[in-house]
Amino acid sequence: MNLEQDLRQAVERGEFTLVYQPIVALEDGRLTGAEALIRWRHPERGLLAPAAFLDMAEETQLIVPIGRWVLDEACRQLAEWNDSLPVGARAVTASAGSAGSGGSAGSARPAGSARPAGSARPAGSAGARLPLLATEPDARLPLLAVNLSSRQLSHDADLVCEVTKTIARHGVPPGRICLEVTETAVHEASLTARSALEAFSGSGIKIALDDYGTGYSSLGHLRDNPVDTLKIDRVFISGLGQNRGDDAIVVAVITLAHALGMKVVAEGVETPEQRARLQELGCDFAQGHLFSMPLSAEDFGELLRSGA
C-alpha cells in the first residue's frame, strides 16, 4: 500500500499519538510548558516521526483532519493534567461564581450545573464540560504548544472557528495554548494567515514563531503579526559559545524579541555550556535534550505533578 492510502487509513483508524517535550524557564529551570509533537503508530513500521509523513500529509491536505485531531487531543490532555493537579495548582477549577467569565464561546450550560471549586469533572462528557475559568495564582498547568502547518493556516477556512471551539469544549484557558507557526507559513499566506493570527490572539491564544531565523526572516512579520514568542531554531543554538556568527545571531534575536515585547525560547539545547550562555543572554525559556526528550503524556503528567 502506498503512503497516501496508508495515511488516509491512519486518519480513519486514529493511529496518531502525541508526545510532549518539556519547556523550562532558564532562570530557575522550572517546568513551564511543553510542545506537543505528533507520532504515527504505524501498524507495520512502528512509531514514525513527522519527517516520515508530514510532507505527504501537507500535499494531500490530510494535514487538515490530522491537525484538528492534534489540537483536540492536546486540549483533552491539558484538561486531564489540570484535573490531576492538587486544587491550588490547577489553572482551571469549576467554581459557581465564575460561570462564563472565561469568555468561552458557544457552550451554553444549564444554570445550577456549576460544581464547587475543585470538584472532579464529569468523566467522558466533553460536551458537558464546564468552561469555568478561575485562573489560580499558583497554577502549575503548562503552556501547551501545538504546531500549525502552513497548509492549515492558509487552506483551512474554518481554522479559527475550529480552534476556538475545541479549546472551549475542553474547558482549557485559551491563554494556556500556544500555536506554533513557521515564518514560511506567515510569509506564504500573509493576509489569510495574519487575520487568523489576529483572531487567535484576540481570543487569548498565544502565538509562537517556530524555527526562527531559518525561513523568510522578514522583520516585517514580527511587526505585522501578533507574535508572543520567538523560538530560535536549534541550528543557531548548536554553535553558541563556539561559533561567533551563531552567538551574534542569538544575541540579536533575543534583543530584538525583548524590544518588541516578545519572549524567547531556545530550541535544541543540548549542553550545559549552551544553557549557561543563554542564561547570560537573558533568554527566557529553553527546550532540548539537556532538559528532556519528548515524553509520553503519562510521563509528562508525572513530571508536572512532581512540581519540577
Dist CA 45 CA 29 (whole Å):
36
Per CB under 5 A, 147 contacts Mn ion: yes
Q: How far is the CB of 262 from ligand G (least distance, A)?
A: 17
The listed partner (Mn ion, Na ion, ligand G, none) that binds 299, CB under 5 to 8 Å by sort, is: none
Q: Which residue is nearest to Na ion (CB)?
A: 211
Per CB under 5 A, 211 contacts Na ion: yes
User: Cell for 136?
Assistant: 489560580
Per CB under 5 A, 35 contacts Na ion: no
Per CB under 5 A, 183 contacts Na ion: no
Of 41 and 109, CB closest to ligand G: 41
Q: How far is the CB of 190 from Mn ion (least distance, A)?
A: 20
Q: How far is the CB of 16 from ligand G (least distance, A)?
A: 8
Per CB under 5 A, 233 contacts Mn ion: no
Dist CA 141 CA 202 (whole Å):
21
Of 183 and 210, CB closest to Na ion: 210
Tell me which residues in 253-292 interact with Na ion (CB under 5 A): 267
Per CB under 5 A, 228 contacts Na ion: no
Per CB under 5 A, 210 contacts Mn ion: yes
Residue 89, CA atoms < 13 Å, CB-side half-sphere: 15
Q: How far is the CB of 35 from Mn ion (least distance, A)?
A: 5
Cβ atoms of 261 and 229 closer than 8 Å: no
By C-alpha distance, which of 57, 76, 55 is closest to 67?
A: 57
Of 49 and 161, CB closest to ligand G: 49
Dist CA 298 CA 19 (whole Å):
9
Q: How far is the CB of 193 from Mn ion (least distance, A)?
A: 16
Per CB under 5 A, 180 contacts Na ion: no
The listed partner (Na ion, ligand G, Mn ion, none) that binds 50, CB under 5 to 8 Å by sort, is: ligand G
Of 199 and 235, CB closest to Na ion: 235
- For residue 171, the one-letter residue type is G
Tell me which residues in 77-116 interact with Na ion (CB under 5 A): none
Of 8 and 69, CB closest to ligand G: 69
Of 211 and 246, CB closest to ligand G: 211
Question: Using CB under 5 A as the criterion, what x/- string covers residues 167-206 for binding Mn ion?
Answer: -------------x--------------------------
Question: Which positions touch ligand G (CB under 6 A)?
Answer: 21, 37-38, 49-51, 54, 67, 70, 147, 149, 210-211, 234, 267-270, 288-289, 294
Name the site residues for Na ion (rule: CB under 5 A): 210-211, 267
Name the site residues for Mn ion (rule: CB under 5 A): 147, 180, 210
